[in-house]
Structure 1
Amino acid sequence: MKLTILKDHLNEAISHVAKAISSRTTIPILTGIKIDATSGGVTLTASDTDISIQSHIEIEKEGTTIIELRQTGSVVLPAKFFMEMIRKLPSQQIEIEVKDHFQTTIRSGSSEIQLMGLDPEEFPLLPLLEESRTIRIPSDILRTMIKQTSFAVSTNETTAILTGVLWTIDNGKLKFVSCDRHRLASREVNIDLDPSQRFSNIVISGRTLNELNKVLPDHNTLIDIVIADNQVLFKIQSILFYTRILDGTYPDTSKLIQETFQTELSVNTKQLTEAIDRAYLLSREDKTNIVKLIMREDQSIEVSSTSTELGKVTEQINLNSIRGDLLRISFNSKYMLEALKVMDSENIHIGFTGAMQPIIIKPEDGADILQLILPYRTTN
C-alpha cells in the first residue's frame, strides 16, 4: 500500500473511529485501526466487539484531491500511537507506505516514522445486515432524544439490560425509555414510517449512544438506522456506526407512570433548576444529595438542604399554579437536576400521588418527554 493523504481529512476520520477502541481489550488486533486503501478511497475501521465504526475518505471532494493513491492495500496500525502521531505531524501532506510484513513508513515534511503494523486479515469482519427494516430520522431529533434519556441508564452491570435505552416503534412513533430503578426518562417522537412497522425490545447501551452522539453532525442531516436481529447500524454521511443490541428483555416500566395525581404544580423551569442547583451544593457535601421540597398555601414552594458541617440552604419559589394536597417531599437533587436540565420548556408540570410515590415531570409546551424520580423517605 502506498498513498499520500491530506492531514485534516485523515485526522477527522481517525477521531471518529477512535471512539470504538477499548483500552481494556485483551485482543491485540482490536487495539489498532484498520486502514483499507482502494480505488474508491481510504476506509478506516475500529472495533471493540460491542461498537464498530467505519469512516470513509473519498479520493476527491468538491474539486480538491484528498488522496493520491499509488498502490492499494491494507494494514492495521496501533491506534493510540497512530492517532497522536498523525495529529502532531508538521505537514498537510502525509505519505503512508506499507511494505513486507506490514512494516509501515509514515512521512510528513522532514519527519519519518516507522511502525510495525498487524495483519488486516486478523481484524474482525463487520456484520452484514439485512436492510429490510430501516428507519430514517433527522440527526437533531436523534441527538435530542439521546440527550434526554441516556443519562438515566443504570451503571450497575449486574442488570445489564438496564444499562441500555429501550427503543420501541409503534403506530409511526419512536420512543426511548431508560430506567435505573430510582428514576426513569422517556421521549417519544413521530417519524415518517409505515404505521404497520413495529419494533420492540431494541435495547442499546447508554454508553454507546453517548459515543454515537459525538459523531452525529451538528447540522440537520437525515440518518438511516438499520435494525437487524442483534445489531443496529447508523449510517451518518461517510460514517457507518454498528452497535450490538443488548441481550435480555427490558422490564415493563409503564406501571410506574401515574396518569392522575393527588397534587399538581406548574413552575418556571429555570427558577426551580437554579434553586435546586444551589441546594445540591450543600447536600453534596454530606454525600446524601437529599433536598427537601415543602409546598405552602401561598402558592409557593420552599427548597432546602442541610449539611451537618456547613449549615443550611433555604429558598422560596413562587409557583404558576398548584392544585391538590400540600406535601413535604425529599428527593435526590442530582437526579432532579439531570432531569430538569434536559427540559427545553419554559415551564414544567410536576405531578405527585403522595409523599412516597413517583414524582412525574413533564414540559408544559406539549413535547412528549417525561421524567420520573422516586422520592426518599427521611426521618422528619
Structure 2
Amino acid sequence: MKFSCEKALLQSAIAVTARAVSPKSSIPALEGILLEAGTDLRLTGYNLETGIRTVVPAQIDQEGSLVLSARLFGEIIRKLPDDIVSFQADGYMVNITCGMSQFNILATDPEDFPELPTVEDKNGFTIPRGKLGSMIRQTIFAVSDNESRPIHTGSLFEIDDTGLTVVSVDGYRLALRHEPITERDGALSFSFVVPGSALSEVEKICGDGEEEATVTQGERHVMFRVGDTMLVSRRLEGEFLAYRQAIPRNNGIKVEGDTRALLTSIDRVSLIISDKLKSPLRCVFDDNVLKITTKTGIGDASDQCPISGDGGGLEIGFNNRYLMDALKAAPADRVRLELSSGVAPCVILPAEGEENFLYMVLPVRLKAGE
C-alpha cells in the first residue's frame, strides 16, 4: 500500500471519521481507522452503531488496506508540517513521511475491522445540506437522555407530501422543524428514528451550503450522504410519541415578542440559578408586558420584557434552561407564545409566515412564596 496526499485534506478526513471510532472497545480494530487505497483513498471509522466513511483525493501508487490507531494517526498527521504526506506500508509496518519528519508505526489487520452495514435503497429523499444541518441543530436539544425510553433518545424523521418534519421529545419539551424537500424516492410517506448521537455527527458533517444531502432509509439502518462523506447509523425501533395529539393548539392566550429580547430577559434573571441552586422562573403575562421573577438561596431577581398582546395576568412557572433552549433554536426574529393555563404547555411558533418550527415547553408547578 502506497499513496501520497495533502496534509490538510488527510487531517480533515481523519477528524471526520474519528468521531465514529470507539475510544475503548473489546475489538481493538474498532479503536482505529480503516484506510483503503484503491481507485481512491477511503477512511472509515465505526463503533458498531454509527459508521462514517469519507473519500480523500490522493495519488495511489499501490493498492491495499490496513487499520491504524485513530488517536496516534490523528496526532501524527496533525503535528506534521503543511506539505504532502507520503504513506508506505510494508506488511503491517507503516512509514509516514512529510518534509523532514518521519514516523514508522505498526498497523493492524483490516480483516479484523467489521464491515459497515449495507443500507438497502428502500426509501429516501434529498435536501440541501445546510437546511438538513439546521433542522437537526434546532431540534436535537430536546432529544431525551433517558434510556428507559430508548425510542426518544433519537429524533423522528417523518416524510410526506408536504416535506420533511423532524421531531424530538424528552418528556418536558418538544421541538419540531418542517421544511419542503426537493426530491423523494420510494413510498409517498415514511418515517424512521435516528439516534441523537448519530445526528450530532450528521450536523457537523453537513456544515453550510446548498449542496444536496441524500438520506436513505434501509430495513434496519439509515444512511446520510453529504459530498464525499457517508454516515451509516442503526435505526431506533419502537413507538414514538404521537406528537400531533400532544400539542395543544386551541390556546386562548396568544402573545408575541422579540426572540432576542425574550432570551436576554430570561438570561438576566437566570444569573442567580445554578445546578446547586435550582428554582423555576415565575412568569406573569400581563397586558403588553411579561414579568419574570425567580428566587434562590442567594437572593432574587426580576425583569420585564415588552410583548404584544394581553396575557390576562396568567402566572406560570418554567425551567429557565428549557425555555432558553427553545428560544435559542427558534429560527425567527419574532415568536408567538400560545398558552391556556398555568398547568398547560407553552407553545412557541413563528409570529409571521409559515409554521416551519414549533417548540413546546411544559410548565413547572409553582409553590407559594417561590
TM-score (norm. length: structure 1): 0.92
Decide whether the 8 Å contact of 1:266 with 1:322 is kept in 2. Answer: no
1:135-154 to 2 correspondences below 5 Å: 135-154=125-144
Paired residue for 1:79, among 70, 73, 86?
70
* RMSD across aligned positions (CA): 1.7
**Alignment map for 1:204-353 (pairs within 5 Å):** 204-284=194-274, 286-296=276-286, 298-309=287-298, 311-322=299-310, 325-353=312-340
Q: Which residue of 1 aligns with 2:5?
A: 5
Q: Aligned partners of 2:214 and 2:258: how far apart in 1?
A: 37
Displacement of 1:286 after TM fit? 4.8
SS at match of 2:313: coil
What is the SS of the residue equivalent to 2:138? helix
Counterpart for residue 367 of structure 2: 379
> Structure 2: how far apart are the matches of 1:282 and 1:221?
44
CA shift at 1:25, angstroms? 2.6
Q: Residues 353 and 227 of structure 1: is their aligned pair in 2 closer, same or farther, counting only changes over 3 Å?
A: same
Post-superposition offset of 1:359: 0.9
Code of the residue aligned with 1:290 in structure 2: it is P
Structure 2 residues without counterparts, runs of 5 or longer: none
Distance 1:208 1:153 in 2: 12
Q: Is the 8 A contact 2:279 2:296 kept in 1?
A: no
Question: Which blocks of at least 5 consecutive residues in structure 1 are unaligned?
Answer: 60-66
Match of 1:97 among 88, 100, 118: 88
Query: In the alignment, residue 347 of structure 1 is paired with which amino acid?
Result: R
Does 2:358 match 1:370?
A: yes
Q: How many residues are paired up? A: 366
Cα distance in 2 for partners of 1:287, 1:161 equals 32
Output one character per residue of 1:213-232: Cα deviation in whole Å (capped at 9) or x when no partner.
11114222111111111111
Pairing 1:116-131 to 2, within 5 Å after superposition: 116-131=106-121
- 2:33–2:45: 8 Å Cα contact kept in structure 1? yes
How big is each residue's C-alpha offset from its partner over 1:110-156, in whole Å with a ceiling of 9 and x where there is no partner?
Answer: 22212111111111112222224221001121111101111001112
Q: TM-score with structure 2 length normalisation?
A: 0.94
Task: Tell me the secondary structure at the aligned position of residue 75 of structure 1.
Answer: strand
- Could you list the per-position Cα deviations for residues 83-124 of structure 1 after superposition, in whole angstroms to 9, with x for gaps in the alignment? 011110135122211112x12121222222121111111111
Cα separation, partners in 2 of 1:132 and 1:230, compared to 1, 3 Å: closer
Return the alpha-carbon distance in structure 2 between the equivalents of residues 75 and 285 of structure 1. 47
SS of the residue corresponding to residue 124 of structure 1 reads coil
1:113–1:193 distance in 2 versus 1, CA, 3 Å: closer
Q: How far apart in 2 are the matches of 1:20 and 1:299?
A: 49
| Stretch deviating more after TM superposition (341-350 or 107-116) | 107-116
Instruction: Provide the C-alpha distance between the structure 2 equivalents of 1:237 and 1:170, rounded to a whole number of angstroms.
Output: 25
The 2-side partners of 1:256 and 1:217 are apart by 32
Q: Is 1:360 matched with 2:327? A: no
For 2:98 and 2:290, locate their aligned partners in 1 and report how far apart those are by CA, in whole Å: 64
Equivalent position amino acid for 2:330 in 1:
M
Judge conservation of contact 1:152–1:185 (CA < 8 Å) in 2.
yes
The separation in 2 between residues aligned to 1:58 and 1:345, in whole angstroms, is 39
One-letter amino acid of the counterpart of residue 343, structure 2: M
- Secondary structure (helix, strand or coil) at the match of 1:145 reads helix
Deviation at 1:211, TM superposition (A): 1.1
SS in 2 for 1:320: strand
CA contact (8 A) 1:172 1:194 kept: no
Amino acid aligned to 1:76: V
CA deviation map 1:25-58 (0-9, x unaligned): 32211000011111x2211111011111111123
* Structure 1 residue 162 displacement after superposition: 0.9
Q: Classify the secondary structure of the residue corresponding to 2:303.
A: strand
8 Å Cα contact 2:13/2:43 also seen in 1: yes
307 and 255 in structure 1: CA distance in 2 versus 1, 3 angstrom threshold: same
Partner Cα distance (2:249, 2:118) in 1: 43
- Indicate the SS of the match to 1:16: helix
In structure 1, the residue corresponding to 2:219 is in which secondary structure?
Answer: coil
Cα shift at 1:371: 0.5
What is the distance in 1 between the residues matched to 2:203 and 2:183?
23
Q: What SS class does the counterpart of residue 367 from structure 2 fall into?
A: coil
- Secondary structure of 2:29's aligned partner: helix
Partner Cα distance (1:370, 1:87) in 2: 42
SS class of match (2:213): strand
| Match in the other structure for 1:25 | 25
Matched, 1:52 2:51: yes
**Structure 2 CA distance, aligned partners of 1:302 and 1:172?**
38
Deviation by residue 1:319-366 (Cα, 9 ceiling, x = unmatched): 21225x421111000000000011122221111121011111111132
CA spacing shift, 1:225–1:42, aligned 2, 3 Å: same
Counterpart secondary structure, 1:203: strand
Give 1:64's aligned residue.
Answer: none
Partner SS, residue 129 of structure 1: coil
